[in-house]
Amino acid sequence: MATGRPTTIRPNDLPPGTGIWFSAKDGKQRPGVVLRVHPKGSNPAAAEELLVVIAGTKSVPLAHHGDRYEEVEHNSREGKALRLTFDTWFKDSKVEVIPRSRARASGGLAPPSLFLRLEALIPLAMLPPAPSGPVPTTPKAEPPKKT
């Protein structure tokens, strides 16, 4: 079924929902999904665009850790959409803010239902203040200028 969403992402585009590989804070290369994009200039300390990402791991969550997580099997529809090569657990403890330069697009895009489940894992402390106006969902193309 066509959704109107692109199924592949160009290497320089990293909108929310994009599957990525990145160097996580533990030093490992991990698969991830972009959850938020903070444009360059939105944080005076950042020299480039910042991404809020959730990292995936091969490690099965342990019940006593209390992590909230989403499991994505690599051969499922969602795993194929993200181009995962192994069963992956996305845990709330693996949400990071990284500079754009640390991310490499995997070429996949999270299906909307998975994106919403992953987005629900963002710790409240990482969410920006609520905007005063309506929240934009996707950038709209500018209409052609009349000459």
> Would the pLDDT of 60 be above 80?
yes
Domains and CATH numbers, the chain: 18-122 (2.30.30.110)
Residue 132 vs residue 125, higher pLDDT? 125
pLDDT tens-digit map of 87-97 = 999 999 899 99
Mean pLDDT, residues 46-73 taken together: 88
Q: What percent of the chain has pLDDT over 70?
A: 72
Phi and psi torsions of 116, nearest 5°: -65, -40
> Would the pLDDT of 98 be above 80?
yes
Q: What is the mean pLDDT of the chain?
A: 80
> Would the pLDDT of 147 be above 80?
no
Tokens 């300390």 appear where?
A: 45
Q: Would you place residue 122 in the very low, low, confident or very high pLDDT band (cuts 50, 70, 90)?
A: confident
Token pair recorded at residue 56: 């995936």
pLDDT tens-digit map of 5-47 = 544 444 467 899 999 999 988 899 999 999 999 887 766 666 7
Residue 4 vs residue 143, higher pLDDT? 143
